[in-house]
Structure 1
Amino acid sequence: MQLEQQQQNGIAYLSGGIGLDESRAIQQTKGYNLHMTFSTGPSNEYVPDINVKIQSMQGHELLTLNEVGPIVYVNLSPGKYVIVGTRNGLEQRSTVEVKGGAVRDLNLHWSDAA
């Protein structure tokens, strides 16, 4: 299974992970230093309908993705970033620091009250 690399503002990313084959394929992909997964509820079910923004610490939007997930891999320059995930109007924010050569894992979780 081949996942399609995409780019926005010069930033390469992959989104997918729906179904076992696709989630295995994306987890074997190398070359991305931020690995994000999106889950919900008490059983941590993967969710594929997340709007994600990656911003610089100064608030500049670098990457805006709509209806992505449950796994998104991004290749970012080393530095600190603010990740904003929105699902059903509920926002999750996280600050991550990406360092050269290291992979940073981030899970955004919504406790589904909907």
Structure 2
Amino acid sequence: MSRRYLTRAAGLCLAGAMFCAASAFAQTDATPGEPTVLKQNGIVYVSGGIGEDEVAAMKKMAAQYSLRVLVAGQGGEYLSDVDVTIASAAGKPVFSARTDGPILLVRLPAGRYRVSAASGQASAAHAVVVPAHGTAQLDLHLKQ
């Protein structure tokens, strides 16, 4: 290969790498602190609440969800990476996820549910009634 070809190829690779880096930076900068909305078996949810920006974003989003779960430890410290399962009143699991922060927002149909959370040896469970309008709020404090 000629030296001219190699120089041109290297220049194009460098330009491409700079473009990709700039694009990634621009995407990250466009939505600071905003958590990702996910969907599982038709159920829309979002999890997060780490950092002031993300907490503020989730507070704004909360009215769009029928259930807000806040997960904390026995001493009141906020927890993330907690396995949360929601079951119907009949005991059938309808939702399961690992949290990305202490706040979990879930869009469920109105009804009675049992919410369980576990992290290591600590766990908690509580019944909740999700209203047809508005948001049910549940604070779970995991205990060993």
* TM-score, normalised by the number of residues in structure 2: 0.71
User: The residue matched to 2:58 in structure 1 has which SS?
Assistant: helix
Looking at both structures, which has the greater relative contact order when contacts are Cα pairs under 8 Å and sequence separation is at least 6?
1
Structure 2 Cα separation of the partners of residues 68 and 3 of structure 1: 9
> What residue ranges of structure 1 are gaps of 5+ in the alignment?
none
Displacement over 6 Å in runs of 4+: none
User: Alpha-carbon deviation of 1:67?
Assistant: 4.3
Aligned to 1:31: 64
CA distance in 2, matches of 1:41, 1:93: 13
SS of alignment partner, residue 28 of structure 1: helix
Q: Which residue of 2 aligns with 1:52?
A: 84
In structure 2, what is the Cα distance between the partners aligned to 1:89 and 1:102?
A: 33
Please list every run of 5 or more consecutive structure 2 residues that lacks an aligned counterpart in the other structure. Answer: 1-31
Give identity over the alignment, percent.
31
The secondary structure found in structure 1 opposite 2:64 is coil
Counterpart residue identity of residue 86, structure 1: A
Aligned length: 111
Please identify the structure whose Cα radius of gyration is greater.
Answer: 2
- RMSD in angstroms over aligned alpha carbons? 1.5
Aligned to 2:95: 63
Structure number with the higher strand fraction is: 1
1:24 is paired with a residue whose SS is: helix
Q: Report the structure, 1 or 2, having the larger helix content.
A: 2
